[in-house]
Amino acid sequence: MSAEATDPATPEAAGRRRARPRLDVRGLRRIGRAALIGTAGRDGLPDALEHVAQVHRRHHPDAGLDILSKAYALAESSHRGQMRKSGEPYITHPLAVTLILAELGAETTTLTASLLHDTVEDTEVTLDQVREQFGAEVCYLVDGVTKLEKVDYGAAAEPETFRKMLVATGNDVRVMSIKLADRLHNMRTLGVMRPEKQARIAKVTRDVLIPLAERLGVQALKTELEDLVFAILHPEEYATTRRLVDEHADRPDPLAAIAARVRTTLDEAGIQARVLVRPRHFVSVHRVRMARGELTGADLGRLLVLVAEDADCYAVLGELHTCFTPVVSEFKDFIAAPKFNLYQSLHTAVTGESGQIAETLIRTHQMHRVAEAGVIALGNPYAPTDGPDAPEGERADPTRPGWLSRLLEWQRTTPDPDTFWTSLRDDLAQDLEITVFCAGGPPGGPADGTIGLPAGASCVDAAYARYGEAAHCCIGARVNGRLAALATVLHDGDSLHLLMAPDAPDTAAGPAPEWLDHARTPAARLAISRWLSRSAGQDTGEPAPQPPPPGPAATGHDTAAAAEITPAAVLAVADLPGASVRLAGCCTPVPPDNVTGFAVRGGTVTVHRALCPVVARMAATGRQPVGVRWRRAGRTGHGCRVTLLAEAFSRPHLLADLTEAIAAQGVAVVSAAVEPPHEQRVRHTYTLHLPNAAGLPSLMRAMREVPGVFDVLRPGRDRPAAALRP
């Protein structure tokens, strides 16, 4: 039940109004009084609904109001006699939630559902009644919010329940929009609760709902929720921040003077723009104070420049950087590269005549609406349903932020609810984002573009963010034009070119266990863990599947491995009737290596070199080897894959010289990885395709002859690969 709150007139609320304009609080009081009186207003609307209708018409002039009046009548009659803890009629709560959403520009269907959002849970109204009177869309939203009301978001939350509820939300972002507005009103009126319950609700809001608001782009809700949580969980810091804001309230505002100069500059340039001083909310002021120490008046707000067209944003930027001294390090272009939550704006900073620095946001009016209201400002993104029933399964939402798409992908491919819950909490905790410009990949894959990643993400994370499970085939990367290890940490604005394995099946392709050490995003860690778990069949008896072919991100269904018809099936034969043969990717055996095999489920025999460390592990667990031998024709007549390690002294052009030596032998490079130099030594790892296995010794000799190279060997031969580092 949503009656967790009461008194809207708290001292904290008054302080917040000084810091930054909030959503309409006076309107909430008006509808509260009207709900008590219960009289009819103009145009047949109840007085309690009149202010909601006025606000709604500002955003949607042609909106029909009959359905809102009908929804209010049902909500008021069903909640009649129910009271909030403050003593107000319960109907004031759904009215307040609806007004919050109306202020943000929500469309009529969302407002209708918000009026009814507590009826199914708290009254005798049924979903069938809602569907019959208001249609499938409203029923779908009310059902989603009702399910969310039953979720405990705290540390003791039942992961599977949370997973189902949040996935239902992901299928229609309006469900979470209503839930966020519901939580905001409850947080505003939390004053009558016991302090320990206030703290519990505030922590849940901080840990789950505020990050969700950020990811849905609903900044207006997010910032006010942050301030409310800040006041409850950190009352001393909140009081200090509020005092600093109050101290500057009666002083001249340096931003106002800079804003006046900006208006004059843009007028003279013939650019129509609205220039505003936008106060920071309390949490933002606190963060600035923690980062900069002593605050100035200019630190308490930012300039906001609103224009009509995208091109005008760049025209404004040019004028500001021409007529003011810009702070170059503060420039960011979120128009060309929107953030993961649909946010678009130009960020810059300019210096005023007195030396004060004014952070400046430049955006169109539409960008501003989306920046404030996120997905709420985008209206109804779904096509009307043909039938009377609500849609089944995932709905096609062209406006869904990328984070929600990833959420749905995780739940499809992560059967363990605890793993899903842990991954989600980790993702919500990552509040800093970088933008990477990504290119490369397999034919038919995603076009070049930008991807958003959490700060500290690596090339591994970028590969899985771009290609899903097809990233198993990633073999390298170029960062800002230079070859880089997949472990390389990316930075904001980096250019990334991902190198993918060719389309031909390759038993050696697939993520290495150390990729987990380099993966920061849950999407990457989950995909790698699934692959490694399946590939562990070499040790556990499970067959290791092939990686999916390069292409767009997988849909979450496992890619079935074919019957392993690779060169191995021609080169080697097992002493096990009917068994197919697979060359192990860990040691890439080739004729005339001394080999042994182990049977795994599915009628497959995995062939290892006798010196491979896996063989010793298999024997230690009691696994019985299977005899395997090379076919005679395989000694000279068939191509094969092999992995070679080149140990060398670090020097310029070493990679180019080694690659040239390999090409001169008629050998194709499938993948190459270069580790950072250590004590002036470097190790190169190559996966190569040899047209003839008999050419391996001459290839290794040719590589050893490259100046600076002191050894070329194969993993598991003479000494294990892990021991190659001096």
How far is residue 109's CA from residue 68's CA, in Å, rounded to a whole number?
9
Per-residue burial over 685-703, b if 16 or more Cβ lie within 10 Å, else e, is bbbbbbebbebbeebbebb
Decide if 428 contacts 437 (C-beta within 8 A).
Answer: no
Report the candidate in 19, 399, 380, 374 with the shortest Cα–Cα distance to residue 220.
374
Report the candidate in 45, 40, 28, 147 with the shortest Cα–Cα distance to residue 98.
28
Question: Which residue out of 121, 207, 426, 657 is catalytically annotated?
Answer: 121
How far is residue 378's CA from residue 385's CA, in Å, rounded to a whole number?
19
Q: Which residues fall within 8 angstroms of residue 589, CB to CB, at 6 or more apart?
A: 583, 595, 607, 608, 609, 612
Can you read off the two tokens belonging to residue 342? 């649909």
Strands 301-307 and 357-364, bridge-based pairing: parallel
Encoded amino acid at 394, one letter: E
Report the candidate in 343, 317, 316, 344 with the shortest Cα–Cα distance to residue 328.
317
Exposed, middle or buried by CB within 10 Å (0-12, 13-18, 19+), for 347? middle
The three-state secondary structure class of 467 is helix
Q: Which residues fall within 8 angstroms of residue 641, CB to CB, at 6 or more apart?
A: 506, 507, 508, 567, 583, 588, 590, 670, 687, 688, 689, 690
Q: Which residues fall within 8 angstroms of residue 114, CB to CB, at 6 or more apart?
A: 94, 97, 98, 101, 106, 178, 181, 182
Q: Beta-carbon neighbour count of residue 274 at 10 Å?
A: 13
Is cis: bond before 567, omega within 30 of 0?
no
Q: Which residues fall within 8 angstroms of residue 414, CB to CB, at 6 or more apart?
A: 420, 423, 526
How far is residue 71's CA from residue 67's CA, in Å, rounded to a whole number?
6
Catalytic residue flag (residue 224): no
Catalytic residue flag (residue 121): yes
Decide if 92 contacts 105 (C-beta within 8 A).
Answer: no
Can you read off the two tokens belonging to residue 243? 């005092």
Q: What is the DSSP letter of 587?
A: T
Beta-bridge partners for 640: 690
Question: Which residue out of 122, 137, 461, 564 is catalytically annotated?
Answer: 122
Q: What is the dihedral of CA 449, 453, 458, 463, to 10 degrees?
A: -50
Task: Pick left, alpha or beta for residue 547 (phi over 0 → left; psi -120 to 50 → alpha; otherwise beta).
Answer: beta
Report the candidate in 633, 659, 426, 443 with the shortest Cα–Cα distance to residue 526.
426
How far is residue 24's CA from residue 22's CA, in Å, rounded to a whole number?
6
How far is residue 164's CA from residue 151's CA, in Å, rounded to a whole number?
10
Encoded amino acid at 554, one letter: A
Decide if 27 contacts 55 (C-beta within 8 A).
Answer: yes
The three-state secondary structure class of 134 is helix
How far is residue 398's CA from residue 401's CA, in Å, rounded to a whole number?
9
> How many Å from the N-terminal Cα to the C-terminal Cα in the chain?
65
The three-state secondary structure class of 349 is strand
Residues labelled catalytic: 121-122
